[in-house]
Amino acid sequence: MSGAGEGAREFGRSATLLSAGVGAAGLLTYVYFSLASHNLDPTEYGEVVVLWSAVFVSISVLYRPVEQLLSRTIAERQARGQSISSALRVAATIQIGIGLITAAVVLALRDPLQDDLLGGSEALYWILFFALLAFGASFFARGYLAGNRRFVLLTGLLLAESFSRAAFALAVALGISEGQTAVALGIAAAPALSLLVVPLAFGRRAARATANQAASSSGAELKFVHGGGFAAAVLVVMLSEQTLLNGGPLIVRGFEGAAAAGFIFNVLLLARAPLVVFQGVATSLLPHLTRLRSRGAAGTEAFRLSITGTLRAVAAFTALAATVVAIAGPDLMQIAFGDAFTYDRAGLLIVTAGMGLYLTATTLSQAAVAQGQVRSAALRWAACALAFLIWCLLPAFDEARRVELGFTAAAALLAALLVPLHQRPGEEVEPGSPEELEARLAVADEAG
């Protein structure tokens, strides 16, 4: 019993560290864009934003399914005392195949990607190419570390990635290097440099795990289709988040050019800054809610109080943020991102309201996952993301205002649609289960 208690305490400490690391990684990403905006002209900065948005939407589609498959199956097979060799082999085969296909497609589409998306920059094109490949290896490592419950090393990987990326923008700010290419290189170099923590995962514990796996190699081989329903639902949620947060700059790029994309990205960072800090809270909120739900009727009231308390904190924070934005929002944005853009107070207030509604929706989404209703939540996320895209393509208002209004309206709709899931009991996710791990890892990924 004491051994089990110690294991639970170790898991809790590691999860707490991961939560803190997720928040810190998000803040370092914010620093990267702040420095980039100060040291590049509007068009150059906008092209970096477009590159970033294209990379992160792509890797959500390409690599998160394999990451989730790997983390889930490693955790599941280790819990059963089975070998993880087949899980590693199948996931590696899929990941290598995806990487080769991605490389071929990006090479085949070089002209439209380079000329139409990236403003004709050959350097940005090759950064896009290598970033997509490097993130494939990084996401495989994340899945491996999470599945083995190596949360300390997973935290190190996330922080190493964000710190490395910020270092490239800092080098330009200090005059050590200069120009758009130097800043953008951080997008490709960061996932590669983050892999330096991976060798630490193969020490004495890995050797013991290999011995244990050899002794229990009677477990069934992992097939290519395994536990896909939950993973697919989590993927839909993640893709919908990327659409709401990164789709706007790409749409504006198509209508008004790179500089306008950089402007709307900065405005949305007003919402993303609290979001990346909240990711750390969300990473801890999910296991907390999951454990409350596992207690049955005894934990129902505590579950409700936890959600209510989080939502009240979100409302208070949003009210404070709105007050600050109303008083000094445009000035603070220029301090953070330079005076290349003039920020509209009304637009900032709209996005601030959207931030509060989005935090509300994220909290309710975590409650739905803890209640085993991730598939129902995913349908609601997808519907709101689709509505956002359709709205942004309508000829109403200017492009930036459409994105601001669309983000806030989509967040409000999502929160309203998720409320019934919170109020309707579901089949809870088991504490420490592969499902909980998978959802928690997805939250950690959003630090990017």
Q: Which has the minimum average pLDDT: 19-28, 196-205, 250-259, 379-388?
A: 196-205
CB of 446 closer than 8 Å to CB of 238: yes
Residue 202: pLDDT band with limits 50, 70, 90: low
Q: Does residue 297 carry a pLDDT above 60?
A: no
Q: Which has the minimum average pLDDT: 170-184, 250-264, 295-309, 373-387?
A: 295-309
**403-429: pLDDT as tens digits:** 999 999 999 999 999 998 866 655 555
The rounded distance, in Å, linking the Cα atoms of 350 and 362 is 18
pLDDT greater at residue 142 or residue 111: 111
Residue 241: pLDDT band with limits 50, 70, 90: confident
Q: What mean pLDDT do residues 88-99 have?
A: 86
The rounded distance, in Å, linking the Cα atoms of 30 and 117 is 23
pLDDT at 385: 94
pLDDT at 305: 78
CB of 247 closer than 8 Å to CB of 407: no
Q: Does residue 217 carry a pLDDT above 60?
A: no
CA-closest candidate to residue 409, choices 244, 237, 235, 239 = 244
Q: What does DSSP assign to residue 339?
A: S
Residue 229: pLDDT band with limits 50, 70, 90: low
Q: Does residue 37 carry a pLDDT above 70?
A: yes
Q: What mean pLDDT do residues 191-201 have?
A: 82
CA-closest candidate to residue 60, choices 355, 410, 385 = 385
CB of 154 closer than 8 Å to CB of 444: yes
**434-448: pLDDT as tens digits:** 555 555 555 555 544
- 374 three-state secondary structure: helix
Q: Where are the alpha helices (DSSP H) in 195-296?
A: 204-215, 228-256, 258-294
